[in-house]
Amino acid sequence: MKTLHQSRPTLYYIIGIAFLLSITTLITLAAKSRRQAPPLHGRGGREGSLAPGDSPLLDSLLKANPQLARVALNPQYELQIIYTQINRDAQNRPTFTPHTYHLNPQQYFNPASLVKLPVVALSLEKLNDIHKPGVTRRTIMATGTSYRCQTPVPFAAPADSDRTATVGDYIKRMLLVSDNIAYNRLYEFLGQRPLNQRLQELGYSTTRITRRFAPCDTAANRHTNPISFHTPQGDTLYKQPAQTNPTSYTSPLGRVLKGRAHQAGRRVIPEPYDFTTANHLPLPDITALLQSILFPESVPATQRLRLTPTDYAFLRRYLHATPHESGYHPYAPARYFDAYKKYLYYGRNPEIPHQSTLRIYNIVGMSHGYLADVAYFADSLHQSEFLLSAVLYVNQDGIINDGAYEYDTIGQPFLAQLGRQIHQYETQRPRPYRPNLTEFFAPEPIR
């Protein structure tokens, strides 16, 4: 299939004119965000129409590609996109201009593993706040039990292996292959209430992280395990008692019901699935968080994470690294291929070779028919960069939890084509100054 730039050589000129005419409006729109995050606005409109809040540029790019248009113009896919252009000044300082498509804060989507990004970031922040000598991301962590639906991880002396029970190890597993058990351990380390209170302090007022990735009920998820940190010899450095959140969190959208039916065990229940107490993470919030990790100076100091330069470097490495290039030995290339969690651009296709000049820093989600990727692209060959976030719903039979979703046939191909389309446009887009991307391609000794 020909790309947009190959098949319609004059279209970019037209788009460029439209972009210049609307740049004042778009900059004003972006300035309304306290974190320079994409604004919370936009609604899905009728097929073929430009919905309120939609970017004319992004709308044109989607409709110019038949593969993208088939999904973008069909409301059953509940598509939401944030495409953020980044322009540098003469001192290489970035500014961010968001373009949105069908962005709707009232339209719930299940964030799935997107919640892992705030959990890894806040876990590193909590280690810094503990201020206990010897307690770092490399310190052995033991997990106890105190309530139903909890599982232990007893202290074990470090073996001659990468896979140990440490905060750093859990973060690697979450960012490299989206490991759910590692997420549970750090959710428990943070505690449900402190986790959500800190998110509120950072300005993510509608985000709720309320569940483990385990079959635990609402009450069990409010109770988190006792935690302790130890020297390799077994001496205790720090102990954290079990925690309980006395408040039961619910969705800020009220009652959230999705699907025409849902499966429980082997039974199909002809009622929608209830997401009211599930995790809730709007697309602008997770986009803003990724931006704050990669560009901490772009957000106000009060909304900045309490992380050290080494923390930021550690997160950056494992946000972009593929499983085998990470040097983390438990993940064999045969199973965890380069595109394992790089949906935008690669589409989770194991046959597509990884490009060394293109680094994608991202977090993904896939569950209950929802497919999402939130990413920053840095291209050293074309000296281009941008942020791209997208989520869509691929559940044609309308039954949630039956495992019959169109991830491979519709979702992944769409995200791959979307990433390539925006990437190609960005390689051609005029910029006042080409970005210096050295910080995103420098050698990374962090382990």
Angle at the Cα of 404 from the Cα atoms of 400 and 408, rounded to 5 degrees: 125
The residue range of the domain holding 124 is 113-274
In a domain, 164, yes or no: yes
Residue pLDDT tens, the chain, 447 long = 333 344 444 433 333 434 333 433 333 333 333 333 333 333 333 445 677 789 999 999 999 999 999 999 999 999 999 999 999 999 999 999 999 999 998 999 999 999 999 999 999 999 999 999 999 999 999 999 999 999 999 998 876 566 789 999 999 999 999 999 999 999 999 999 999 999 999 999 999 999 999 999 999 999 999 999 999 999 999 999 999 999 999 999 999 999 999 999 999 999 999 999 999 999 999 999 999 999 999 999 999 999 999 999 999 999 999 988 877 777 777 788 888 999 999 999 888 888 889 999 999 999 999 999 999 999 999 999 999 999 999 999 999 999 999 999 999 999 999 999 999 999 999 999 999 999 999 877 666
- What angle, rounded to 10 degrees, do the helices at 192-201 and 116-130 form? 90
Specify the pLDDT at position 129.
97
In a domain, 301, yes or no: no
Specify the pLDDT at position 334.
73
In a domain, 55, yes or no: no
Phi, psi of 208 (to 5 degrees): -135, 125
- The token duo for 99 is 């373009």
Specify the pLDDT at position 44.
36
Asked if 60 contacts 18 with a C-beta cutoff of 8 angstroms, the reply is yes
Asked if 101 contacts 418 with a C-beta cutoff of 8 angstroms, the reply is no
What is d(CA 359, CA 381) in angstroms, rounded to the nearest whole number? 11
In a domain, 341, yes or no: no
Specify the pLDDT at position 31.
37
- The token duo for 15 is 């788009």
User: How many structural domains compose the chain?
Assistant: 1
Specify the pLDDT at position 445.
64
- What angle, rounded to 10 degrees, do the helices at 116-130 and 283-294 form? 50
Share of the chain residues as helix, strand and coil, in percent rounded to the nearest 5: 35, 20, 45
Asked if 35 contacts 303 with a C-beta cutoff of 8 angstroms, the reply is yes
In a domain, 235, yes or no: yes
In a domain, 244, yes or no: yes
What is d(CA 244, CA 227) in angstroms, rounded to the nearest whole number? 13
Specify the pLDDT at position 173.
94
Amino acid of residue 404:
A
The size of the chain, in residues, is: 447
